[in-house]
Structure 1
Amino acid sequence: MLIGICGGICAGKHAIAEYLIREQGFELLQLANKNPLPITNELRDPARLEKSETKSLPSHKDETVFETVDSLLDFVTKRWTEHWVTTDIWDHTTLDRLLLRPFFLLVSVDAPVSLRWQRFRDRCSRQQLDPPDLEKFVMWNDRHLYDREIGRAYLTDRAQVRLFNASSSLEELHAALKRLDLSNDERLRPTWDQYFMQLASLAAQRSNCMKRRVGCVIVRDRRVISTGYNGTPRNITNCNEGGFKIAQVGISEVVYSKGYNMDKESAEILSAAGIHLRQFSPVRSNERYVANPR
């Protein structure tokens, strides 16, 4: 598995990478060309300071620094069962190359701009540089996210997992990362339940029901037999006349995603017909937490 981390200035990319390295046995991978397009021309440029922060991450192998993203991918492909992490994702070309591989997971992290400004001030202090005022930082942040050449918003929008790092507490960040369980292999390849539920969600988009869109997939021996969505089909016996389709056609198990206001009655009918009912529990795709009030 290779986890790539992207996000805004001081959103928490390096804190997440450090947790994965120290607590879950990941190894850091780096690109030699850290950031070809700086945000400003000043010494306290966020990109320059971010490069110095990357050097502080625990890594001791020269072989984990690569000249190109392709050489990095060649390295990981031979060791895809091991755990790797990188924060060196700077443009859509690099990201496109990474997303082609089945072992890659993109994680984005974000935080309130006021909190990120304070973190940047702390970073400047560590480098013995004068920090910017909030207005200048906001201008840098806007260019970092939305500039046509270096904007990162395009990258964060494509993340499979999103983390909202709205706390100043590392303990809370680590607890959120533990709940997310980023190293779970199910994030790379969906389970059968995830796979079929995603097909059902896609089918639901065809529904024109005014109250609730519902999709379904009928499966036998892990092969899709049919898909459908809620509506009023022709030539079907009404429910009040005994036309509970599911119970009549020999289906043995129903897996559902979200509850409905007729759950109890439906469950009783399915149980009487000998049909197993089970709710789908996917892995978390985002995590949100806030700073404790003071």
Structure 2
Amino acid sequence: WTSAALEFPTALLLDQYVSENWRENYVLTTIWNEAILDTLAKRPHFILLSIDAPISVRWQRFRERCAQENKEAPALDDFVLRNDEHLYDPLSSLATLSSRAQIRILNPTTTIPQLQASLDALNLLDPARMRPTWDQYFMQLADLAARRSNCMRRQVGCVLVRGKRVISTGYNGTPRNVTNCNEGGCARCNTSKGGGTGLSTCLCLHAEENALLEAGRERVGDGAVLYCNTCPCLTCSVKIVQVGITEVVFSQSYHMDTQSAKIFQEAGVHLRQYAPPREGLVNLCDLGIAKSDQA
């Protein structure tokens, strides 16, 4: 864990220094085992990134480096063997470390300026990566509620909020005391009917319906916001308008989006789509700036 200015003999001393100077940004490139990672990852101001590229791209880059240094480049099969040793050696645990990264960057870019521009577009310093915004917080609660869904067609979660306080939550599935949808309780959902068809025979309550029923009109009050991981359907949109919701925030589109948006617009309900900071596997070429060596 060295840089041009800083060097620490242990991860604990590094952690202590950064914790005392947490308003500054630091980059650490030498994390070689989980013990070091565990020491650093307990801090709320730490983000783990892994950076990789297709093995053919890395082989080509290594050949070019060898040529610049007047060294003989290894054959591809030898390079692959060295790669596997580096990645899967039990002592290094590099594959395990990479699997724990919040952001896994795939870098097939051709130049350093392309790489830098792509990283700027990714906005790694977005404060929401450290502490969720209110939108991110409530949408993650909606995603968590969706995991309780028993519907066979899709998992939908909903959170009703007023004054940044949760009023109620809901998820889709069959009513109380009725066999769960995923146990055969709803015949319509357990068939291959297309989306939007056979809804009159569906026994599953929607996540928005459950949240509205749980809250009731009096608890919803004025200025309530509905967060849902999927854009409400037309039927739910009418009910949302009726109980006095003033804003609807969703993350995933649905095939009735246009119809629902029309209802909300006419009723004066603000509808917007939420997009969180990109995490997981990110191909820098998908950001529209970089070009791939494989193009």
TM-score by length of 2: 0.71
Distance 1:70 1:122 in 2: 38
Q: Structure 1: give runs of 5+ residues left out of the alignment.
A: 1-29, 32-58
Separation (CA, whole Å) in 2 of partners of 1:182 and 1:240: 37
Match of 1:273 in 2: 267
User: How far apart are residue 197 of structure 1 and its match?
Assistant: 0.9
Task: Choose from 8, 18, 24 the match for 1:82.
Answer: 24
Alignment-derived partner of residue 291 in structure 1? 292
With 116-125 and 211-220 compared, the bigger mean Cα shift is at 116-125
Q: RMSD in angstroms over aligned alpha carbons? A: 2.8
Give the structure 1 partner of residue 222 of structure 2. Answer: none
CA distance in structure 1 between the partners assigned to 2:66 and 2:241 by the alignment: 66
Asked if the contact 2:151–2:173 (Cα under 8 Å) also holds between the matched residues in 1, the reply is yes
1:153 counterpart residue number: 95
Contact 1:164 1:287 in 2 (8 A): yes
Query: Are residue 136 (structure 1) and residue 130 (structure 2) matched?
Result: no
- Residue number in structure 1 paired with 2:9: 67
Q: Alpha-carbon deviations, 1:109-159, whole Å to 9, x = none?
A: 110111112222344455554332221211111121122222311111111
Structure 1 counterpart of 2:56: 114
SS at match of 2:152: coil
Partner residue in 2 for 1:173: 115
Q: Structure 1 residues 258-267 or 279-288, which shifts more?
A: 279-288
Quote the Cα distance in structure 2 between the aligned partners of 1:226 and 1:147. Answer: 48
Q: Is 2:255 the counterpart of 1:261?
A: yes
2:153 is matched with 211
Is this contact kept in 1: 2:57–2:294, CA < 8 A?
no
How does 1:233-244 map onto structure 2 within 5 Å?
Answer: 233=175, 244=238
2:35 corresponds, among 85, 88, 93, to: 93
Matched letter for residue 292 of structure 2: A
Instruction: Report the secondary structure of 2:24's partner residue.
Output: coil
CA distance in 1 between partners of 2:33 and 2:46 (Å)? 16
Partner residue in 1 for 2:276: 282
Q: Which region of structure 1 is more displaced relative to structure 2, 144-153 or 264-273?
A: 264-273
Contact 2:237 2:263 in 1 (8 A): no
Please give the secondary structure, in 1, of the residue aligned with 2:166: strand
| Structure 1 CA distance for aligned equivalents of residues 11 and 265 of structure 2 | 54
Q: Give the SS at the match of 2:50.
A: strand
How far the C-alpha of 1:69 sits from its partner, in A, is 0.8
| Change in CA separation of 1:185 and 1:242 when aligned onto 2, cut-off 3 Å | closer
Larger relative CO (CA 8 A, sep 6+): 1 or 2? 1
Paired letter, 1:288: L
Equivalent pairs, count:
236
What residue number does 1:251 align with? 245
Kindly provide the CA deviation profile for residues 97-120 of structure 1, in whole angstroms up to 9, marking residues without a partner as x: 111101111111110111112222
The one-letter amino acid paired with 2:48 is L
1:6 alignment counterpart: none
Seq. identity, %: 50
TM-score, structure 1 normalization: 0.71
Letter in 1 for 2:50: S
Asked whether the 8 Å contact 1:143–1:150 carries over to 2, the reply is no
Partner of 1:11: none
8 Å contact 1:176–1:287 — kept in the other structure?
A: no
CA shift for structure 1 position 293 = 6.3
